[in-house]
Amino acid sequence: MQFNYSNPTQIYFGQQQIAAIAKAIPPHSNVLLVYGGGSIKNNGIYDQVAQALSDHQWQEFSGVESNPTVETLDKAVEIVKKDHITYLLAVGGGSVIDGSKYIAAASCYAGDGWDILTGKHKVKKAVPLGAVLTLPATGSESNKAAVVTKKATKDKLSFLSAHVQPQFAVLDPDAMKTLPERQLINGLVDAWVHVCEQYITKPAQGMVQDGFAEALLKNLKQLGDNFSNHDDDAWRANLMWSANQALNGLIGTGVPQDWATHMIGHELTALYGVDHARSLTIIQPSLLRNQIEFKRAKLEQMGINVFGLQPTTDLAERTIAEIEGFYLSLGVATRFTEHGGDKTQVIADILAQLESHGMLVLGENQSITLQEMQLILESAIG
Ligand code: NZQ
Ligand code: ZN
């Protein structure tokens, strides 16, 4: 174990915390409020934000879509440059926050912002940003990552930079009250897979990381099993905090990480519009079965410590069945059946995209080659 760790995002957690942005954003800032398709206009969040910004100079940019596109975000970049915006406030889910991270970085770069996603430009500077979270799922509100899509070419790529990590994040569980059930389930499942990507790898004797990951998995399982309580304040607060902790960097520090499910899943979203979380549940069970010999020890540990299974020789196999059963209990598919098109063509198209994005070997062991990805996809695509 050897690492540098810091999570500098100030978290304002709890009901009525949106008011805190009045003080969290420096007083003389010129603020751009960034949001999505308008859900914040229907649930009072926009009004609370406007109230909190009443002593600030501000304007707004709306229309950031789910799986935000560079085509839309570049319009905001123009505004930031033209109007000398000095602070970005992202109000929404992962898409709005990720989109704002891109805007923050691309606004400080003279070239084509897409260079940040391809790695041609390394971010050295960004407009400071804060976030008001309305959908717990991605952890984007207090991490360095952003995922952006280029609509024209169906490329969905990510970048990481400490410069775009939000300076503060407001997590008010009341903001979740208007979330459709589909999005709530997506959030729960995405957070669950984030923990898995940092935990179902190989044993590394990270007692803190493993113990914390197991606590998060048990929480998320319990919240999923009690989904009918999702209108309860404690249910909402616990999902919001669990999803944040799942991907704020802590549990993955100093231990191996996988992320292959995410990399393959991103292609499913980019090509076929599958919701991010649902792309993961389609890929992950097949990927775990494909990689079972590498992951057996951690799957067995998860079976005992998270699912309470008895040790047997097929414990790892039963743990995967429990994971799959959890998704199915939430009504989330574990095979890509909605497409209905030519399966061979779908697999070929996904593999071609993975190859063009340089995803030639994935996983904590670099054992998921394109051949293995093909086998995983053959099993995942119904
Ligand atoms: O557009 P609005 O009006 O905001 O509506 C959204 C959107 O339609 C709606 N919504 C959000 N909060 C709501 C609400 N509706 C009613 N009431 C509320 N309180 O929900 C829909 C989905 O929102 P979106 O932001 O797209 O979802 P999510 O938070 O799941 O974000 C997904 C994006 O994050 C990326 C994904 O790839 C995807 O692009 N990820 C980002 C990560 C990161 N930065 O670390 C890691 C993740 O693994 C993930 O890849
Ligand atoms: Zn995710």
Considering only CA atoms, which residue is closest to atom 18 of ligand 1? 179
Answer yes or no: is 1 within a domain.
Answer: no
Domain-terminating residue out of 148, 175, 202 = 175
Answer yes or no: is 262 within a domain.
Answer: yes
Give pLDDT tens digits for 78-122. 999 999 999 999 999 999 999 999 999 999 999 999 999 999 999
Helix pair angle (260-272, 370-380), 10° resolution: 60
Are residues 255 and 170 both part of a single domain? no
Q: Would you state the pLDDT for residue 337? A: 85
Give pLDDT tens digits for 304-346. 999 999 999 999 999 999 999 999 999 999 999 877 778 999 9
Give pLDDT tens digits for 214-227. 999 999 999 999 99
Mutate to test the pocket of ligand 1, among 276, 284, 332, 357 (most ligand atoms within 8 A of CB): 276
State the Cα–Cα distance between residues 23 and 52, nearest whole angstrom.
Answer: 9
Are residues 274 and 153 both part of a single domain? no
Are residues 369 and 227 both part of a single domain? yes
Are residues 191 and 168 both part of a single domain? no
Answer yes or no: is 2 within a domain.
Answer: no
Q: What is the 3-state secondary structure (H, E, C) of the chain?
A: CCCCCCCCCEEEECCCHHHHHHHHCCCCCEEEEEECCCHHHHCCHHHHHHHHCCCCEEEEECCCCCCCEHHHHHHHHHHHHHCCCCEEEEEECHHHHHHHHHHHHHCCCCCCCHHHHHCCCCCCCCCCEEEEECCCCCCHHHCCEEEEEECCCCEEEEEECHHHCCCEEEECHHHHHHCCHHHHHHHHHHHHHHHHHHHCCCCCCCHHHHHHHHHHHHHHHHHHHCHHHCCCHHHHHHHHHHHHHHCCCCCCCCCCCCCHHHHHHHHHHHHHCCCHHHHHHHHHHHHHHHCHHHHHHHHHHHHHHCCCCCCCCCHHHHHHHHHHHHHHHCCCCCCCCCCCCCHHHHHHHHHHHHHHCCCCEECCCCCEEHHHHHHHHHHHCC
Are residues 214 and 116 both part of a single domain? no
Answer yes or no: is 150 within a domain.
Answer: yes
State the Cα–Cα distance between residues 308 and 131, nearest whole angstrom.
Answer: 37
Please tell me the distance between residue 358's alpha carbon and the centre of ligand 2 in angstroms: 20
Q: For residue 246, give the CATH number of its domain.
A: 1.20.1090.10
Considering only CA atoms, which residue is closest to atom 36 of ligand 1? 276
Are residues 132 and 218 both part of a single domain? no
Letter for the amino acid at 118? T
Mutate to test the pocket of ligand 1, among 42, 147, 148, 179 (most ligand atoms within 8 A of CB): 147
Please tell me the distance between residue 176's alpha carbon and the centre of ligand 1 in angstroms: 12
Are residues 26 and 94 both part of a single domain? yes
- Name the pTM for this structure: 0.98
Domains contained in the chain, number = 2
Q: Nearest Cα to 87, choosing from 144, 22, 36, 18? A: 22
| Domain ranges, residue 111 | 10-175
Mutate to test the pocket of ligand 1, among 35, 156, 183, 197 (most ligand atoms within 8 A of CB): 183
Give pLDDT tens digits for 16-59. 999 999 999 999 999 999 999 999 999 999 999 999 999 999 99
Domain-terminating residue out of 117, 149, 175 = 175
Q: Would you state the pLDDT for residue 340? A: 72
Task: Write the CA distances from 45 to 10, 17, 33, 41, 51, integer angstroms.
Answer: 20, 11, 12, 7, 10
Are residues 375 and 276 both part of a single domain? yes
Whether ligand 1 lies within 6 angstroms of the CB of 252 is answered as: no
Considering only CA atoms, which residue is closest to atom 47 of ligand 1? 138
Answer yes or no: is 369 within a domain.
Answer: yes
Give pLDDT tens digits for 145-204. 999 999 999 999 999 999 999 999 999 999 999 999 999 999 999 999 999 999 999 999
Answer yes or no: is 316 within a domain.
Answer: yes
Please tell me the distance between residue 99's alpha carbon and the centre of ligand 1 in angstroms: 10
Index of the ligand 1 atom closest to the CA of residue 136 = 29
Q: Would you state the pLDDT for residue 179? A: 98
Domain-terminating residue out of 147, 175, 203 = 175
Rg value, the chain, Cα: 20
Q: Nearest Cα to 278, choosing from 290, 291, 269, 289? A: 269
Q: For residue 99, give the CATH number of its domain.
A: 3.40.50.1970
Are residues 28 and 167 both part of a single domain? yes
Answer yes or no: is 234 within a domain.
Answer: yes
Q: Would you state the pLDDT for residue 341? A: 78
Answer yes or no: is 4 within a domain.
Answer: no
Sheet holding 30-35, edge to edge: 10-13, 168-171, 129-133, 87-92, 30-35, 57-61
Q: Would you state the pLDDT for residue 77? A: 98
Are residues 134 and 165 both part of a single domain? yes
Summarize the confidence of residues 53-74 as an average pLDDT.
98
Are residues 158 and 41 both part of a single domain? yes
* 353 has a pLDDT exceeding 90: yes
The answer to whether the CB of 116 falls within 8 A of the CB of 123 is yes
Are residues 170 and 272 both part of a single domain? no
